[in-house]
Amino acid sequence: MYVLSLLLYPGAIRLTFDPFSLLSPDGESLILLGATGTIPVDRMGRWWTIVSANYLHGGIIHLLFNMAAFRQLAPLVLRTYGMHRFVTLYTLSGIAGFWVSYLAGVKFTIGASAAVCGLIGATLYYGKSRGDTYGEAIYKQVSGWVMGLFIFGLLVPRINNWGHGGGLVAGILLGFLLGYLEKRKENFSHKILGWACVLLTLIVLGGAIGFSVYYRIGGGM
């Protein structure tokens, strides 16, 4: 999605010495592909963007930062919750984070951070719930990440702290509701929910990509 957002309007790509704006797609591309916030939702009626925005990024640093966090968290969450619950956690935490940021009045937002924070929240719940030496070690480590994320959000401009907070809380709640493998094996309902999240994501992203390419070829902008 990031590459496509650059290719839709390559002439508008920003080349700058500001690392947070380097290789940034233009706003029109992001709107077409499903950026969310009060502007796309209220003015354009695009409620589905609370799903698609999770797969868009505002620059190469933004993308790499989220990829690094995802790579560090994903193996642990997969081992702890299983594949189907992992997909559910990631998808619903992203949706929840963007829903909270919409309610808070954030006008325009994108990025996988809300979903990644959901993985952090689920890991936080697991460590606290498990207890013992291993659980406490995980809880302390992830608590440090949460504190670092909070400080980062205060110091760096344009960070969607509402999305981060919403995703984090959603991850904790989903971790509690879904359970983890040591307490509850994945069952049929977990599989159905996981595949429903996959289907929803594919439909939304497929529609956004198809519309964007058609609109671009048709010279709509």
For the cut 60, the answer to whether the pLDDT of residue 131 exceeds it is: yes
C-alpha torsion angle, residues 105, 111, 113, 116 (rounded to 10): 130
pLDDT at 221: 47
pLDDT > 90: percent of the chain: 66
Per the DSSP assignment, residues forming a β-bridge with 109 are 36
Architecture of the domain delimited by 2-217: Up-down Bundle (1.20)
**Three-state DSSP string of the chain:** CHHHHHHHCHHHCECCCCCCCCCECCHHHHHHHCCECHHHHHHHCCCCHHHHHHHCCCCHHHHHHHHHHHHHHHHHHHHHHCHHHHHHHHHHHHHHHHHHHHHCCCCCECCCHHHHHHHHHHHHHHHHHHCHHHHHHHHHHHHHHHHHHHHHHHHCCCCCHHHHHHHHHHHHHHHHHHCCCCCCCCCHHHHHHHHHHHHHHHHHHHHHHHHHHHHHHCCCC
Q: How far apart are CA 191 and CA 27, in angstroms?
A: 37
Phi, psi at 14, each rounded to 5° = -90, 120
Q: How far apart are CA 26 and CA 11, in angstroms?
A: 9
Range with top average pLDDT, 2-11, 13-22, 132-141: 132-141
- Lowest mean pLDDT, pick from 56-65, 89-98, 173-182: 56-65
Of residues 166, 179, 1, the one with CA closest to residue 88: 179
Domains of the chain, residue spans: 2-217
pLDDT at 201: 98
Average pLDDT of the segment spanning 158-181: 95
Average pLDDT of the segment spanning 91-112: 97
Q: What is the mean pLDDT of the chain?
A: 89
194 against 65, higher pLDDT: 194
- Lowest mean pLDDT, pick from 58-62, 95-99, 214-218: 214-218
Using alpha carbons only, give the angle 8, 46, 204 rounded to the nearest 5 degrees: 65
pLDDT at 23: 66
For the cut 90, the answer to whether the pLDDT of residue 16 exceeds it is: no
For the cut 90, the answer to whether the pLDDT of residue 21 exceeds it is: no
- Lowest mean pLDDT, pick from 57-66, 70-79, 197-206: 57-66
pLDDT at 29: 84
